[in-house]
Structure 1
C-alpha cells in the first residue's frame, strides 16, 4: 500500500479496467427471469395474432342491429357457437348471430360483438340459444380486437440491455419467442478470511467471533441478482486460501472480506500479491483498505475484488463498488457508480474532511440520520438492519449540519 490514499474515483477506474468482457447465451424463457437481454427481440407474430372478441356475447353484422333498443329489440337466429380456441369455421350470414366467447376468433362476415349483458341470453349458460334478442345496438367494431393492433410482426418489442422481468418475458412469449439471447447470471465466489472466525452459533473461544461476512456477502450477491456459486472461509494461511480457490469451479468474480490491510497476518494480500495485484488505501470511511487481484479459479485467471474485513466496511464496499461490478458483469450497466438520490441531513454529525464518508443512515422521507450514535464505525454489524442506505459526505465536509444536502445510496434499491 502506498503512503497517499487514492481518491475514490481513481480507484473506481482501476476496478472498472479489470472487469472482463462476458459472452451471451440463448436460454429458454423460463430461465431468463432477472437476466439482461443481450439482443433485440422484435415481434415474430402480430398481437393479437387474429381478430377476436373482447367480450362474451354475440358476433353480428352492425347493420343488422343498428336500431336495437329495449323498446325496439332485434331478434336474430344463432347459427354457431364460437368458444376460445375454435377456428370459427361457420361464416356469419346476414341477419344472423353467433355466440362468441372472449378471445375467440371472429367469424368471417362479423364486424361487431354485442355483449351478453345487452341481450336476453343468461350469462354462463352452457348451450347457445336458438335465437337471441339484441336489446342495444353498437358501433361497428365494438368489442372487437383487431389482428396486430398491439404490434405487427417485425415491430420492436424488447430492446437489448433491459432487465427481463415477468412482464418482459410474457411479452416475448406473446410475440412468438421461445428463447432469448441473454447475458448469463454472473457466477461469484465469496470468501471470508480470518483465523478468528467461527461458524455462526458455534461456541466461541478467547478472541473468536462469529463469521457474519460470508453470510453478508452471499446474501448481497443474491440480492444483486447474481449466483454465489461458492461461499467459503479460510484462516490466516495463504496456502489454504490458494488451495481453496484452486478447488472452486470457473467463476466470473471472487469477492473476499478481510486480510488486505497493513498488519502481519493479511492473508489475501500475502496469497495474491503479484504483478497483477493492487492493494490500496482509498480516501473513504469506512473501508479504506481495498484491493484488486487475479487468481486462478477453475483453471482460468479470475478477477478478485478484495474488501476489508470489518462487517460495516464490507457492506459499504459492496454497495459502493462490488454491486456496480456485478451490474456490469450482468450487462445492466456500463459503469460501477451507484445510483443516488438527494436527501437532507436531519441532525448533525462529524466526519473526516479528507475522505468521502459513507454514513449508514435511516431515511424518513427526504431526511436522514445516522443509524447508530457511533456513526460509521465499521464493527456495527448488528445495527445494520436499521440502515436504509448510505449518506455520501463529500471530501472537504468535516461536519454535516442539519439541512445539509447529500447524495444517498439505497441499500435496497427498487
Structure 2
C-alpha cells in the first residue's frame, strides 16, 4: 500500500511558480466590508473611494511668516529705499481677519494664516523691518523688496479640488492616508474584513513551545512562524491543535477548519513519505485540488486547493520551505482578500555576489542579504542553503530567485530578488 502511495506521489504534475501564483490570485475573493474608527483602520485596505468634500486649502493660505500686502504697493521697494505702510491687523494661524486691506496697508500674518481680502501677496518677514508708530498712532512696517501677485500665497484648491478622488479603493492605509482622512473629517473608514486563518501543524515529532526537548523531537516553530507571518500579512491567525501522524484525524480537523474559518494553512505532511497525512486528505476530500507540486526549491510539495471557495494552503514541514511557500502564495492571497491589488510578489534586479553552482531544473529561492554598493543592488546568499535550516530566516532580508540551470550561475550574474 505504501509503495503504491509513494508511486502516486512521485507522479504528481509539477507546475511553475508563476503558473501557481496566477492560480492562487485568480481564486481570491475579497472579504465583506466593515466600518472602523479611523485609527483602527491603519494597515487595512480601503473598501470605498474617498472624495474630497471641500478644496484644500479652502481659504487663501499664507506660505510663510510675514506681511499680507497689495503687491503693487511694493513695486518700488528696495533695501536702500524701503516703502513704509500701515499695519492694520495681526493674523495668527486659525484666525480670520475682518479687515479688507487697502493700498498703503498690510497685515502681520503667520504661516498657515488666512490671507485677508484685498491683499494679493505675502512678503516674508526677513524682507521687512518695523517702522514705528506714525502720526495717526498706527504701527508701520518698512518693506525692503518687491513681491508679485500671489507670491507666498497658496490659492484655494491648489492641493486638492472639491470632488477630487483623494484615496482609491484597495489602497493600504498608512500615516499619509490617515492624515488625508483626518484632514477631510473622515472619522470612520470602510475597509475589508481581515480573514481568519486557521493554522494546523502536523507531525508526531512536534513539541509545544514550552515543553522540554526530548530525543528525536523538535518544538513547533513552524506554527508560530506562520502565525507571525499571517499577522504581518494582515490576517488573524488561529492556532489549532497539533495533529499527530493520523490521516483520519487530519481529515476531520482540516474539514472542520475549512467549515469554520476563511483560510486554512497546514504545515508538514505534504511530501512523499508514508506519514504525509495532508497529502492523503487532499486525495480523498471533496474539494478542488489546484496543485501539489511546484518547480521550486525549497517547498516543491507546496499544495493549494479550494473547498467551497475557501483556500487550503498545505505548506512543507521544513522551516525554510514553509516560509518561502507562505511568502510566495499565502501573503498575496491574504492581502488580496483584504482588498489589495492582486499581483505577484514584486521583484528587483541585483548582482549575485558569489558563485551559485547548484544544478537544478527548478527555480531556487535562496535566503540572502540585499545591499546597495555604489548605487547597485547586490545579493549574497546567507547561511546554509537547506530547507530544514531555520536560523538563516533571521539573517535574510531577501529571497534570491535562481532559475533552473544545469550549471548554476557565476558571481556577477544579474538575478531577481524578493525583498522581505
- The alignment's TM-score, normalised by the length of structure 1, stands at 0.83
Structure 1 residues 7-43: Cα deviation after superposition (integer angstroms, max 9, x where no partner): 1244444434543343434444323322233443332
1:220 aligns with 2:229: yes
Match of 2:311 in 1: 303
Kindly state the Cα deviation for residue 48 of structure 1 after the two structures are TM-superposed: 0.6
Q: Which runs of 5+ in 2 are unaligned?
A: 1-8, 132-136
Structure 1 residues 298-346: Cα deviation after superposition (integer angstroms, max 9, x where no partner): xx873221101010111111222222222322332324x3222223433
Task: Return closer, same or farther for 1:68/1:354 CA change in 2, 3 Å cut-off.
Answer: closer
| Counterpart Cα distance in 1 of 2:354 and 2:312 | 38
Match of 2:3 in 1: none
Contact 1:84 1:104 in 2 (8 A): yes
The 5-angstrom pairing of residues 2-401 of structure 1 reads 3-8=11-16, 9-121=18-130, 130-137=138-145, 138-224=147-233, 226-236=234-244, 237=246, 238-239=248-249, 242=252, 246=256, 251-270=261-280, 273-278=284-289, 280-294=292-306, 302-335=310-343, 337-365=344-372, 366-372=377-383, 374-375=384-385, 377-401=386-410
Structure 1 residues 165-208: Cα deviation after superposition (integer angstroms, max 9, x where no partner): 21133234334544444333443333322222223353111221
Match of 2:416 in 1: 407
Kindly state the Cα deviation for residue 155 of structure 1 after the two structures are TM-superposed: 2.6
Contact 1:59 1:113 in 2 (8 A): yes
Task: Return closer, same or farther for 1:397/1:404 CA change in 2, 3 Å cut-off.
Answer: farther
Contact 2:231 2:237 in 1 (8 A): no
| Counterpart Cα distance in 1 of 2:20 and 2:126 | 68
Contact 2:370 2:380 in 1 (8 A): yes
Contact 1:234 1:240 in 2 (8 A): no
Contact 1:2 1:280 in 2 (8 A): no
CA RMSD in angstroms, aligned pairs only? 3.1
Match of 2:134 in 1: none
Contact 1:2 1:281 in 2 (8 A): no
Kindly state the Cα deviation for residue 349 of structure 1 after the two structures are TM-superposed: 3.3
Contact 2:382 2:395 in 1 (8 A): yes
Find the residue that maps to 2:166 and give its secondary structure.
coil
Structure 1 residues 35-61: Cα deviation after superposition (integer angstroms, max 9, x where no partner): 233443332211111112222222222
Q: Which runs of 5+ in 1 are unaligned?
A: 123-128
Contact 1:258 1:308 in 2 (8 A): yes
Match of 2:4 in 1: none
Task: Return closer, same or farther for 1:115/1:380 CA change in 2, 3 Å cut-off.
Answer: same
| Counterpart Cα distance in 2 of 1:78 and 1:263 | 88
Task: Return closer, same or farther for 1:132/1:255 CA change in 2, 3 Å cut-off.
Answer: farther
Contact 2:121 2:148 in 1 (8 A): yes
Task: Return closer, same or farther for 1:57/1:348 CA change in 2, 3 Å cut-off.
Answer: closer
Kindly state the Cα deviation for residue 270 of structure 1 after the two structures are TM-superposed: 4.6
Task: Return closer, same or farther for 1:115/1:12 CA change in 2, 3 Å cut-off.
Answer: closer
Kindly state the Cα deviation for residue 271 of structure 1 after the two structures are TM-superposed: 5.1
